[in-house]
Amino acid sequence: MKAVILAGGYGKRLRPLTMDKPKPLVEIAGKPILLWQIEWLKKYGIDEIVLLVGYLRDKIIEYVGSGRKFNVKVTYVVEDEPLGTGGALKNAELVLRNEEKFLVLNGDIITNLDPLRLLANVNENIVVSIAAVPLRSPYGILSIDEKGYIIRFEEKPIIENYWINAGVYAMTPKIFEYLPDKGDIERTTFPKLASEKRLIATKYTGVLWRSIDTYKDVEEAGKELSMLKGA
């Protein structure tokens, strides 16, 4: 089973951290995001990694190498120019088209969700299963009674009734019929699959999930992971 990691972006919102290193090598609680991902995948028996690299790719290749030091097998697919998430994945068709199914994940997330559940949900009719997690409010939430008194303050709670794309997918090779040469999969491919009812969500609750988009995310994820390691 192969897992594809989209690791070619510029990480502009994380500058200056990404001025001299690609986003997947930004450290969270003492380890690069990419290493967190590799260790997570290995726990579920997934040890064949396809890295889609672009920006500062030599840094990733130098760090990961063949993958042997992490007990995984690594293949690299290089984009010579920015292709977007959809184009980057299409660029890897030769490596993936003979697979029955495979995982795809953004190179900026840290999670412990069970990816095998995703893989179980794709078949000849369902081309993609998207991991969905409850929305975490970016703000503190006030509970206010009928007289205007604040009765409770919740700091960035999980909002259970709203679901977001967790950036982890299971796919079949049928996906290559829908991918653009350039462009993001979320704006091109997924709407088309949804209209054909070939796209499904796999819901996860009570899992660790963090997207590392800003410096604030680096700090907050670091604190959360340090607490988990110390527990």
Reference 131, options 114, 110, 145; nearest CA is 114
Give the pairing type, strands 27-28 and 73-78. Answer: unpaired
**Residue 74 domain flag:** yes
CATH of the domain at 205: 3.90.550.10
**Residue 141 domain flag:** no
**Residue 89 domain flag:** yes
**Residue 151 domain flag:** no
Q: Count up the domains in the chain and report the number.
A: 1
Catalytic residues: 156
Structural domain for 184, as ranges: 2-132+162-226
**Residue 54 domain flag:** yes
Q: What is the pTM assigned to this prediction?
A: 0.89
- For residue 34, how many other CB atoms are within 10 A of its CB? 23
Cβ partners under 8 Å of residue 175, min gap 6: 89, 127, 128, 189
pLDDT band at 129 (very low <50, low <70, confident <90, very high): very high
**Residue 140 domain flag:** no
pLDDT band at 231 (very low <50, low <70, confident <90, very high): very low
